[in-house]
Structure 1
């Protein structure tokens, strides 16, 4: 089955010798653009009008992670002072609507809020949160389970168990929601 058959309405393109690798259980919504060296793991979901452009470095989206509507992922390519910065998303991550992740790494269960920006060389730790609208400037790191907010982002507090559970719940909910959208797109829903 071709990408066009699996993901109707999505644009999935090779760039030079790099072809996107998308797990058979992943969901890529119509209007999404997946280009070049991009790997999307099992049950991950890339929602409407997202752009993941792996042309000068790689992008990886881990199992069960979701990249919500209008988000943009890009990378920093190699240059004389660095090997560049790929964009690496761990497992069970939640990336809110219209987030911008550019050459950053998110550990498992990380959360990036709506409209937030994570720049080159940033790291969002396991179970950590970059709040909605926040800007994590180049090279900054959020330790595990911490919440950072603002522009530039700064430490707010450490998450409690209930907040960590909400991230897990959101990741699971988006896996189920992706299955429902895929069924609707394939005409498999009950009338």
Structure 2
């Protein structure tokens, strides 16, 4: 049977797996679904149409599934979905979707949402995303696999962050960040590639060198950006990681593409974590 503390409030109608643990003074709403092994710590709140997959941990004073901070929202049945083994730390907030978006806020598997981070309505986080302390995501932000966002960073609504990117702490991100990119600053600009992350994830030398050449051609080369895109497509378009970057750039965007902020040098590349 689930281990539910006597002081917890579990509204009738909630679906709770047998191995769930709910701590003191926690609150679980009527439309919540808790998978096997979910842990809800003391004083945490899970509400709305919210599904937590197996092994999710919600730590004290975090809240998941509360209404979006959107004046157009009037109680519509939007929802939150959190993938397996994701951890949401103290005082973090995850708001449910809005009628102006897909109607769902999604967080993938094996993510870590650190203390006081905020995931706004309709955000879409893929797997193994890490948001450090005090990160703020506006509504409709999209983040790919294995992205790290440094502490205190604010990401504007509708921004896209490609997979394997890294965002330096205390950044203000207003535009889309390419896959495998590294950016920082207020307002943030690209400073190179996430080389350390690429190596840690097992990308081979050929892939890394191809990405470095493509990055230099796209963001540090001469001529118009469209001309540089065409050249990279012609010369490197069949290389998988480069093709992924090009497809990301060509996809529909509401915020536009982040560009390089200064001349790239070796130290900028190697220091990207």
Report TM bin, short chain: 0.7 to 0.9
State whether structure 2 residue 109 is matched by structure 1 residue 94.
no
Q: TM-score, normalised by structure 2?
A: 0.53
Partner of 1:188: none
Secondary structure in structure 1 of the residue aligned to 2:172:
coil
1:11: Cα distance to partner? 0.7
Partner of 1:13: 29
Q: Is the 8 A contact 2:50 2:81 kept in 1?
A: yes
1:75: Cα distance to partner? 2.9
1:3: Cα distance to partner? 7.6
Q: Is the 8 A contact 2:164 2:198 kept in 1?
A: no
Partner of 2:197: 160
Q: Structure 1: 5+ residue runs without aligned partners? A: 166-191
1:47: Cα distance to partner? 0.6
- Mapping of residues 125-136 of structure 1, within 5 Å: 125-136=144-155
1:24: Cα distance to partner? 2.5
Partner of 2:82: 61
- Name the stretch that deviates more: 2-11 or 65-74: 2-11
State whether structure 2 residue 137 is matched by structure 1 residue 118.
yes
Specify whether residues 34 and 42 from structure 1 end up closer, same or farther in structure 2 by C-alpha distance, changes over 3 A only.
Answer: same
Q: What per-residue deviation string (whole Å, max 9, x for no partner) do you get for residues 101-121 of structure 1?
A: 012111011111110011111
Cα distance in 2 for partners of 1:109, 1:118 equals 16
Q: TM-score, normalised by structure 1?
A: 0.74
Q: Is the 8 A contact 1:52 1:72 kept in 2?
A: yes
1:53: Cα distance to partner? 2.4
Cα distance in 2 for partners of 1:117, 1:50 equals 15
Structure with more contact order per residue of length (Cα contacts < 8 Å, sep ≥ 6): 1
